[in-house]
């Protein structure tokens, strides 16, 4: 559809998108690249945190045995990416900082909050 509009109207993809949006009565909102880059970086940070928790559960972790006793299979653990949060308030923060994330990014992602510590 876009290619057809581009060829017939002699516009680029962005122009074809705007023409179709106008016909459909839809407003096109363009996102600034800095905002998109920040969002992508935060998604990456959250993915890194999820992998941290999955890794913490590990194959030999007592939490895995507990999950098995509750009828949760290894397949389910893997599929839902079930992890374990260690009893350490700064372990995740230090791990994420080692991976190149800043304290500000960690806080923006909602994984930590500045406190008295």
116 pLDDT exceeds 60? no
Does the pLDDT value for residue 117 go beyond 60? no
Write down the pLDDT at residue 28: 85
Domains and CATH numbers, the chain: 1-30 (no CATH), 32-117 (3.90.980.10)
pTM: 0.68
Neighbours of 112 (CB within 10 A): 16
Please write the tens of the pLDDT for every residue from 43-100.
999 999 999 999 999 989 999 999 999 999 999 999 999 999 999 989 999 999 999 9
DSSP calls for 15-63: HHHHHHHHHHT----PPPHHHHHHHHHHHHHHHHHHHHHHHHHTTT-HH
């Amino acid at each position: 559809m876009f290619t057809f509009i581009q060829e017939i109207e002699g516009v680029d993809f962005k122009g074809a998108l705007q023409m179709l949006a106008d016909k459909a009565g839809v407003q096109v909102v363009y996102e600034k690249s800095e905002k998109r880059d920040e969002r992508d970086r935060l998604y990456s940070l959250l993915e890194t945190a999820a992998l941290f928790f999955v890794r913490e559960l590990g194959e030999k972790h007592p939490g895995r045995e507990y999950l098995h006793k509750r009828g949760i299979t290894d397949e389910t653990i893997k599929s839902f990416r079930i992890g374990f949060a260690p009893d350490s308030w700064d372990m995740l923060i230090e791990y994420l900082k080692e991976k190149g994330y800043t304290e500000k990014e960690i806080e923006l992602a909602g994984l930590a909050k500045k406190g008295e510590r």
